[in-house]
């Protein structure tokens, strides 16, 4: 299933990599590859440490200050060692704790959205889509994902995006603050 989703994302990015025509104006597609770092917050902070990964994104220019985006990526969060009650003292009935190493969590987000350029360098980003989660020894899951952010173009080919990304499923939210450093071509 993961290979199918990743293949579809790569194919879609490939299709968008050509120039598109809209009336007599040429509109361009900007492709970018980025490295991502992620700081878990909320429920994810309890069980996971820092996350890292990468992503690919296509941005189709629809006007001078608006771009439509499609992205796919991969993030992994290393698990923490947490203390959990493993038994109880038979006399005091106090819990006896043991250490448990939480498995790494892997996330594959597939998102679509928009960029709105406030200036030539500063932009807002909003994306939504679906993420797929896996961890060794656990069943896989998926959920609705949203990612608002603010970005800054450092040069025509390099930009930074700071974002909040959250995924909701059955009343639980997996969320993090992320930083994407991307090279565009």
The predicted-structure confidence for 100-119, as pLDDT tens digits, reads as follows 888 899 999 999 999 999 99
DSSP state letter for 93: -
Q: Identify the pLDDT of residue 10.
A: 53
pTM score of the predicted model: 0.78
In the predicted model, is pLDDT for residue 126 greater than 70?
Answer: yes
What percent of the chain is modeled with pLDDT above 90? 58
In the predicted model, is pLDDT for residue 70 greater than 70?
Answer: yes
**pLDDT tens-digit series, residues 137-161:** 777 889 999 999 999 999 999 999 9
In the predicted model, is pLDDT for residue 183 greater than 60?
Answer: yes
**pLDDT tens-digit series, residues 156-168:** 999 999 999 999 8
Total residue length of the chain: 185
3-state secondary structure of 161: strand
Cβ–Cβ under 8 Å, residues 122 and 130: no
**pLDDT tens-digit series, residues 13-61:** 454 444 443 343 566 899 999 999 999 998 889 889 999 999 999 999 9
Output b/e per residue, 68-94; b: 16+ Cβ within 10 A: ebbbbbbbbbebeeeeeeeeeeeeeee
Q: Identify the pLDDT of residue 81.
A: 87
Burial (0-12, 13-18, 19+ Cβ within 10 Å), 18: exposed
Geometric angle at alpha carbon 62, from 167 and 22, rounded to 5°: 135
Q: Identify the pLDDT of residue 23.
A: 42
Q: Identify the pLDDT of residue 53.
A: 97
Alpha carbon dihedral 39, 48, 132, 62, in 10-degree steps, equals 0
């Amino acid at each position: 299933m993961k290979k199918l989703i990743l293949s579809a994302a790569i194919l879609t990015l490939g299709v968008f990599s050509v120039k598109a025509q809209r009336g007599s104006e040429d509109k361009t597609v900007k492709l970018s590859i980025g490295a991502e770092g992620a700081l878990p917050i909320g429920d994810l902070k309890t069980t996971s440490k820092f996350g890292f990964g990468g992503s690919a994104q296509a941005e189709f220019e629809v006007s001078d200050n608006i771009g439509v985006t499609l992205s796919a990526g991969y993030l992994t969060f290393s698990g923490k060692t947490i203390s959990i009650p493993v038994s109880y003292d038979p006399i005091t009935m106090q819990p006896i704790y043991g250490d448990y190493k939480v498995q790494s969590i892997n996330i594959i987000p597939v998102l679509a959205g928009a960029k709105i350029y406030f200036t030539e360098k500063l932009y807002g980003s909003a994306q939504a889509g679906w993420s797929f989660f896996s961890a060794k020894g656990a069943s896989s899951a998926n959920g609705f994902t949203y990612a608002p952010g603010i970005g800054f173009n450092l040069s025509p080919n390099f930009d930074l995006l700071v974002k909040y990304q959250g995924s909701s499923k059955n009343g639980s939210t997996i969320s993090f603050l992320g930083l994407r450093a991307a090279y565009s071509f």
